[in-house]
A and B are shown apart, each in its own frame.
Chain A
Amino acid sequence: MSDPILVLAHIDETSQINIGAREALGFAQNLSENTGRPVECGLIGADNSSATAEVTELGATKVYTIEDSLLARFSGDNMVSAAAHIVSSSGARIVLIGRHPSTLEFIPRLSRRIDGTCVMNVTRIETINEQYTEIEAAVYGGAARALYQIDSTSPVVVGLRPAAAEAPTPHPENSSDIVELNLELLADRVRVITEATADEGPRLENAEIVVSGGRGLQNAENFALVRELANLLKGMPGASRAIVDEYWAPPTEQIGLTGTTVAPALYVAAGISGASQHMAGCSNARLIVAINSDPDAPIFKYADVGIIDDCLAVLPELIELLR
């Protein structure tokens, strides 16, 4: 019964673990307290030394690391091979992976490679016994939950829903066994022709304040109001899927199930109705402020503070007051 809970993370050129990996370590710790399984971590990247220290402080008792310069950028073929090697070395049957842009590729491919199973958007793990594991996932855009029953005899790769758990408190006194693994890597079958240059600036998923706009903005020009308010509040702008599909805002600013998930201290939703697909990306905000002219808009069910009025009338007033 003491097979470990394994958290897997890709270490990019920042050499740090991302928010998803921290959440996965928190999820693993909760699971470890309930089941007595140790928490282990597998790191795959070009330089894992500082990340190794970080995950040790966050509760990993054993750290598997695979380092190669070819792994600095997420490469599906090599990531899957490396991760499969770590899973088989650890003997883990529960593998946790937190939010990361690559999960749509990484998790299902890995699960197939290790002849296991996978579940995405996982909210909690309900039961683990020798026969089966019961795992709950958010489905139907967050409107429902599905309880998956999984055969326990092979490993299950669990893709955690963003903010499924909080990052654990770091303990600098922790220590861990470090296992360096080697693997022969190959050039990925997918070649990069033009690479997106990672913006050095602040990232939406880490923003403390987010101001988001939806269809209530009426047209593309009015998204400038959202940008300006976000700017004045020293936050970042976000958008609903509906207006991204209309090209009022770029896909990088989309918040929701198929966009970015945010958990800011303050989330201002202007002219957003509150579809579950959108709320999946922001419901973990500490305070949600809704501005909507429809008093029956579902967003008011999720909001802590609401203004029932046209966002096109309220946003300019807020901007005026903050200038």
Chain B
Amino acid sequence: MHILVAAKQVLDPDGINSYALWGRLEVSEDGLGFNTGATVPQIINAYDEQAMEAALQIAEVQEGTRVTAVTVGSDTAPDVLKRCYAMGAENTIHVHDDEKQSGNPFRISQILATVAKNLGDVDLILCGRQGSDYDQGAVPAILSEDLGMPFITMASQINFDEQTQSLHVDVVTPNGPETLACNLPAVVAVSNEIGQPRYPSSRRMIQSRRNPPTVFRADELLPGPATEKMSIKLLTVPEVQGNCEIIEGVDPKEKAKHLLQILRERGDLNV
């Protein structure tokens, strides 16, 4: 089986979150990034790392499985490919694209679809359920449409069933876990329930330097002039107005008592 894993580089969401929590998140001059400088590193999107983990779990069971990792992004994007290689990807592909285009999931999907078609023998495409930057989660489903493949999202476990030659996917739903099945080729988006991704091996981390990604330019892969039907014009940071009444009390018991008193007076309790 040949598995293609799509991974994206994002600003560390924990770092962005810390800035936001302390009210210090500021949008940069061009309106499209943040003034966090080098204090917030660029990392592999966590859901995509989990997609990589899911691919390697399949490869462990399914003999002869190859894993290829692909990323679309600018100059720093290959760092995520190094990580994928160190985790166990055999080949890596970097599609160089202008950072300003990263808010257009239709463009990213078209690029990924072309990569998959050019590889020719891809059986399964794994993606993270969404990027932690724009939280849109649109690329995996659009990609399934672009390629005419079945689509499953919120995967927590992926198995290839030898008997039926089909993919069995456990998914997370609000009603609890379900198992779905589809034939290959397919696109599957992975959620955090897949489990902790393995740590990259240091040996392969070093080897990754001698195994650089195959590089393409986005416009080589896009059919004709790219459709530019959507883009992000501006980022803003919403204000959070703090106005919290702190409950006094000498000990937890008294504070608890006061809290219930306030809630009862407001009519918020029916007990």
Give chain A's interface residues, CB within 8 Å of chain B. 76-77, 80, 101, 104-105, 107-109, 111-113, 116-121, 134, 137-141, 143-151, 154, 189-199, 203-205, 209, 232-234, 241, 245, 251-252, 257-258, 260, 265-266, 273-277, 286-287, 289-290, 298, 300-310, 313-314, 317-318, 320-322
Contacts and interface: CB of A to CB of B under 8 A. Distances in A.
A193 B180 contact: yes
13 contacts: A108-B139, A111-B138, A112-B109, A139-B235, A141-B13, A143-B17, A143-B237, A149-B230, A154-B229, A193-B179, A245-B192, A306-B246, A318-B259
Nearest to A103: B137
A147 B244 contact: no
B234 A147 contact: yes
If over half of B's interface residues share one DSSP class (helix, strand or loop), that class is named, otherwise mixed; here it is mixed
Contacts of B249: 307
Contacts of B25: 143-144
A309 B255 contact: yes
A-B complex: 8 closest residue pairs judged by Cβ atoms = A317-B256, A143-B20, A108-B141, A196-B175, A189-B150, A313-B252, A112-B145, A301-B242
B17 A290 contact: no
Contacts of A309: 252, 255
Nearest to B255: A307
B253 A101 contact: no
A289 B266 CA distance: 13
Contacts of B246: 300, 306-308
B229 A304 contact: no
B223 to A, nearest CB: 14
B252 A314 contact: yes
Interface residues of B, number: 88
B153 interface: yes
A189 B182 contact: yes
A306 B256 contact: no
Contact of B231 (A107, A120, A149): A149
B141 A104 contact: yes
Nearest to B183: A189
Contact of B260 (A101, A113, A276, A322): A322
Contacts of A321: 256-257, 260
Interface in B213-244: 228-238, 240-244
A196 B178 contact: yes
B169 to A, nearest CB: 9
B136 A121 contact: yes
Contacts of A300: 242, 244, 246
Contact of A301 (B137, B244, B256): B244
Contact of B16 (A111, A119, A137, A140): A140
Nearest to A280: B135
Contacts of B151: 76, 105, 109, 190
A307 B141 contact: no
Contacts of B153: 104-105
B115 interface: no
Contacts of B23: 301
A305 B135 CA distance: 30
Given A121-B135, A276-B20, A145 B142 contact: no
A307 B229 contact: no
Nearest to B173: A196
B152 interface: yes
B8 interface: no
B230 A107 contact: no
Contacts of A104: 129-130, 137, 141, 153-154, 189
Contacts of B150: 77, 189-190
Given A104-B141, A146-B234, A276-B21, 12 more contacts: A119-B136, A141-B13, A144-B236, A191-B180, A193-B179, A204-B174, A232-B271, A277-B17, A304-B243, A307-B255, A314-B252, A321-B256
Contacts of B189: 104
Contacts of B140: 108
A304 to B, nearest CB: 6
